[in-house]
Structure 1
Amino acid sequence: MRLPFSLFVGLRYTRAKRRDHFISFISLISMIGIALGVMVLITVMSVMNGFERELRDRILGMAPHVLVSNIGGPIQDWQNLEQRVLQNPGVVGASPYIQSETMFQHLGQDHFGLMQGVLPEKVGEVTVVKDNMRNGSFDSLKEGSYNVILGASLARRLSANVGDKVTLMFLKESRITIAGINPRAKRFTVSGIFETKSEADKGLAFVHLNDAAKILRIRDGVSALQLKTQDVMKVHEVTESLNQALDYNYFVTNWTRQHQTLFNAIEMEKRIMFILLTFIIAVAAFNIVTSLVMLVNEKQADIAILRTLGASPGSILRIFMTSGIINGIIGTGAGVILGVLLALNLPGIVNWLEVTFNMSVFPKDVYFINFLPTELLPDDVIKIASAAFGISVLATLYPSWKASRTQPAEALRYE
């Protein structure tokens, strides 16, 4: 198959040996620079995607996607409300709970947190706590047993283990007597410890729903109804639908009210990182400009001969654009291959470094995870490759335009 004239000559110029080896060196540097920029950008974006995924899974694994509460106080007929909300096609699970601010006491250690009274058979429909039990079983929360399941960090601060007695004090239920304020308190037995590696580990404890109701003197009611949606990113549609379906005295909110700012900040960081690292590719592309300008100066006589033989300025422009674009394609392609391989194998590489050099990249007491997460998204790879290729094309325009403006008589004057 015969190649177009401009493409054929451009490929010849790319493969041909240069009289000035410095041009070849600059061309090689431009390809290496683009490849490194693309590789780093793909790897960094994959790591940030991985952190966002882990954060989302851990936060939204414990937080309700949608929360339905009663404006006037506890929800009395929560069973009927549960049946109504489950009729919504976007809702896949519901669990009632009673919540109260609590002070936990054990062996002279005090810590403030939240107590949630839940039904063990339903809580697994909306959270991942039952799948993250470190000790004991969540089903140990039997009505009347006054058992409590603590978060791992909370248990560590209280020096409490399974089988220990922990005192829960409810300050809002305090009684004022002559002797002073007398908060309501109850001793619970630790029957389990959960660890989700999220903020819930630091200050959340679970008891049976009816035990919490007795202590807080809530008759046949719950604080709110936690819901899990089929698609966590479509909670606004579910919220709007429930607001229209339920009575005016119910207040429906979702996870974005509390956590959306955090995820918006992560997205902003990703965009800023993308822009900053794209500058690395842009700097490397300047080497394409340099190498093409030098190539144009070296090929002045060739350009003049081609123009004399009838080549149009447009053909000359396309010849040198082809030469520069090939450098961009090679650099971008190599960067994509290296970046994808590095992103897919980075967790294993980091783990090998930790074992080999006996170090910890992510200490457990500092970070919520102890490994390097990555998530390679095809859309990111396409955007990065497109940006690198686009920058490479732009870098060829000026030198190629300069070549197309060459006058044959001027170029051959000193030949």
Structure 2
Amino acid sequence: MRLPIELEIGLRYTRSKRRKAVGKRDGFLSFISGISTAGIALGVASLIVVLSVMNGFQKEVRDRMLSVLSHVEITSPEGLANWESLAAKVATQPHVIGVSPIVSSQGLLTRENVMRGVAIRGVSPADEGKVSDLPKQFVSGNIDDLKPGAFGVALGAQLASIVGARMGDRINLIVPESDLTPAGSMPRMRTLQVVGIVDSGHYEYDSSLAIMHWKDAAALLRLHDPSGLRVKVDDMQRAPDIANELATVVPQALWVTDWSRTNRNWFAAVQTEKKMMFIILTLIIAVAAFNLVSTLVMTVNEKQADIAILRTMGASPGMIQRIFLVQGLAIGLLGSLAGVALGLLIALNIDVIVPTIEAIFRVRFLPREVYFISELPSDVRAGDVLTVGLMAFGLSVLATLYPSRRAAKVQPAEALRYE
């Protein structure tokens, strides 16, 4: 079957095959056409890679945060009296899959001449596995080594490195509560033994977390009960809605918060950055589309004699316009598909490409001391890929309209005057 004449001629112009006598000129047009295609492809690939990396970064940090943090927390500044009955009640609510007591506070960790501010977290070793991945993150020791009354502590891996503490070492912990002595009010200090090292993969928490049995933490803070309950739900994306439902079944004096509120500023900043990067990189595709306009305008000027001959053979202005529409859309479609393929190739193998570049140039793109994670993640989403591909093709369509209309307005007599 023969193709429609507009499609056949448009695709022939895209390949730019003509007589040898004018081969140099056609070679230049073919080069410009290839540059336009490559520009669209690079813009599409860049946008897909950047969006995939930002999605992966957000997902990785969120998952690592939630391996340490709670999906939902129910807290009280004065402690939870009768917390066992409240925990049993919360555990029976829909979508709740785990409940555990917690004591949270701030403190100052000292060892020899090193001092470091820490987040004190009192947990229940028997129940912690129901609400977090903390028991799996012990690289030394075990969460069951946190026994009530023994005043053992598990430190984040980075925190232990900073203060120079190892398994079995003794460290001093100063808490905000004070003791009244004849010399006045003195900060309360307790000597603890390191019984575990935890590595969550999240630098912020690994460099500041001190984990104790909740009863030991409560004793240091002069509390008789836990300060709150940690709740794990079956769908962390629905945590805000589930938290609102839990707020209706617990006493009104208690605070119910979810992970999205606790880290709202960080996630809002990531979303804003993602939108801005999308806009900025879209301009790259727009520039490539402008190059497509210039390519087609040059092609129209070069093919005026051909256009005039086609018109004298009975071709209508609409047919001429469709011929150059086919050429522009072919370039746009080829560039978009090539960009999607290249972007997917890079995004799906980013875990291999980035370490190779780091090894060759001896650089580190994500230092653990600066960023939340130390490896560049990637999360390719079909919606993003489809949006980028369609947007690039749409811009190519817009870029093709003016040159094709200009070609349709070529007058045969004027075009053939000097031929």
Same structural fold, with TM-score higher than 0.5 when normalized by the shorter chain: yes
d(CA) in 1 for partners of 2:218 and 2:365? 45
Letter of the aligned partner of 1:164 in structure 2? D
d(CA) in 2 for partners of 1:191 and 1:327? 64
Q: Deviations over 1:247-291 (max 9, x none)?
A: 322221112222122111111111111111121122122222112
Instruction: Call closer, same or farther: CA 1:216–1:371 in 2, change over 3 Å.
Output: closer
Specify the alignment match of 1:120 in structure 2. Answer: 125
Instruction: Call closer, same or farther: CA 1:112–1:357 in 2, change over 3 Å.
Output: closer
Q: Does 1:363 align with 2:367?
A: yes
Q: 1:375 aligns with which of 363, 379, 388?
A: 379
Specify the alignment match of 1:342 in structure 2. Answer: 346
Structure 1: 5+ residue stretches without partners:
none
Letter of the aligned partner of 2:240 in structure 1? H
Letter of the aligned partner of 2:175 in structure 1? F
Q: Does 1:25 align with 2:23?
A: no
- Greater alpha carbon shift after TM alignment, 264-273 vs 355-364: 355-364
- Greater alpha carbon shift after TM alignment, 8-17 vs 95-104: 8-17
TM-score of the superposition, structure 2-length normalised?
0.92
Structure 2: 5+ residue stretches without partners:
none
> Which secondary structure does the structure 1 equivalent of 2:127 belong to?
helix
Cα distance, 1:377 vs structure 2: 1.6
Specify the alignment match of 2:221 in structure 1. Answer: 216
Specify the alignment match of 2:333 in structure 1. Answer: 329
Instruction: Call closer, same or farther: CA 1:100–1:346 in 2, change over 3 Å.
Output: closer
Q: 2:356 aligns with which of 340, 352, 355?
A: 352
Instruction: Call closer, same or farther: CA 1:255–1:364 in 2, change over 3 Å.
Output: closer
Q: Does 1:45 align with 2:40?
A: no
> Which secondary structure does the structure 2 equivalent of 1:92 belong to?
strand
Instruction: Call closer, same or farther: CA 1:16–1:365 in 2, change over 3 Å.
Output: closer
> Which secondary structure does the structure 1 equivalent of 2:126 belong to?
helix
Specify the alignment match of 1:291 in structure 2. Answer: 295
Residues 118 and 209, structure 1, Cα contact 8 Å, conserved in 2: yes
Specify the alignment match of 1:202 in structure 2. Answer: 207
Q: Cα RMSD (Å) of the superposition?
A: 2.0
Q: Does 1:14 align with 2:14?
A: yes
Q: Percent identity between the aligned chains?
A: 46
Letter of the aligned partner of 1:343 in structure 2? A
Specify the alignment match of 2:61 in structure 1. Answer: 55
> Which secondary structure does the structure 2 equivalent of 1:144 belong to?
coil
Instruction: Call closer, same or farther: CA 1:207–1:218 in 2, change over 3 Å.
Output: same
> Which secondary structure does the structure 1 equivalent of 2:377 belong to?
coil
Residues 92 and 230, structure 1, Cα contact 8 Å, conserved in 2: yes
Provide runs of 4+ in structure 1 moved above 4 Å. 356-359
Specify the alignment match of 1:139 in structure 2. Answer: 144
Specify the alignment match of 1:171 in structure 2. Answer: 176
Q: Does 1:86 align with 2:119?
A: no
Q: 2:400 aligns with which of 380, 383, 396?
A: 396
Specify the alignment match of 2:253 in structure 1. Answer: 249
d(CA) in 2 for partners of 1:78 and 1:282? 60
Residues 24 and 291, structure 1, Cα contact 8 Å, conserved in 2: no
Aligned length: 412
d(CA) in 2 for partners of 1:291 and 1:205? 63
Specify the alignment match of 1:35 in structure 2. Answer: 41
Cα distance, 1:359 vs structure 2: 4.5
d(CA) in 2 for partners of 1:340 and 1:208? 47
Residues 14 and 33, structure 2, Cα contact 8 Å, conserved in 1: no
- Greater alpha carbon shift after TM alignment, 256-265 vs 361-370: 361-370
Specify the alignment match of 2:409 in structure 1. Answer: 405
Instruction: Call closer, same or farther: CA 1:56–1:296 in 2, change over 3 Å.
Output: same
Residues 95 and 118, structure 1, Cα contact 8 Å, conserved in 2: yes
Letter of the aligned partner of 1:58 in structure 2? R
Residues 162 and 190, structure 1, Cα contact 8 Å, conserved in 2: yes
> Which secondary structure does the structure 2 equivalent of 1:121 belong to?
coil
d(CA) in 1 for partners of 2:294 and 2:288? 10
Q: Deviations over 1:381-415 (max 9, x none)?
A: 11111111111111100000111222334334444
d(CA) in 2 for partners of 1:168 and 1:97? 18
Specify the alignment match of 1:152 in structure 2. Answer: 157
Cα distance, 1:368 vs structure 2: 3.6
Specify the alignment match of 1:259 in structure 2. Answer: 263
Residues 194 and 201, structure 1, Cα contact 8 Å, conserved in 2: yes
Residues 107 and 159, structure 1, Cα contact 8 Å, conserved in 2: no
- Greater alpha carbon shift after TM alignment, 29-38 vs 367-376: 367-376
- Greater alpha carbon shift after TM alignment, 266-275 vs 351-360: 351-360
Residues 64 and 201, structure 2, Cα contact 8 Å, conserved in 1: yes
> Which secondary structure does the structure 1 equivalent of 2:36 belong to?
helix
Q: 2:101 aligns with which of 96, 104, 124?
A: 96
Cα distance, 1:357 vs structure 2: 5.0
d(CA) in 1 for partners of 2:315 and 2:362? 65
d(CA) in 1 for partners of 2:356 and 2:412? 61
d(CA) in 1 for partners of 2:222 and 2:50? 53
d(CA) in 2 for partners of 1:25 and 1:358? 36
Letter of the aligned partner of 1:66 in structure 2? V
Residues 140 and 196, structure 2, Cα contact 8 Å, conserved in 1: yes
- Greater alpha carbon shift after TM alignment, 376-385 vs 388-397: 376-385
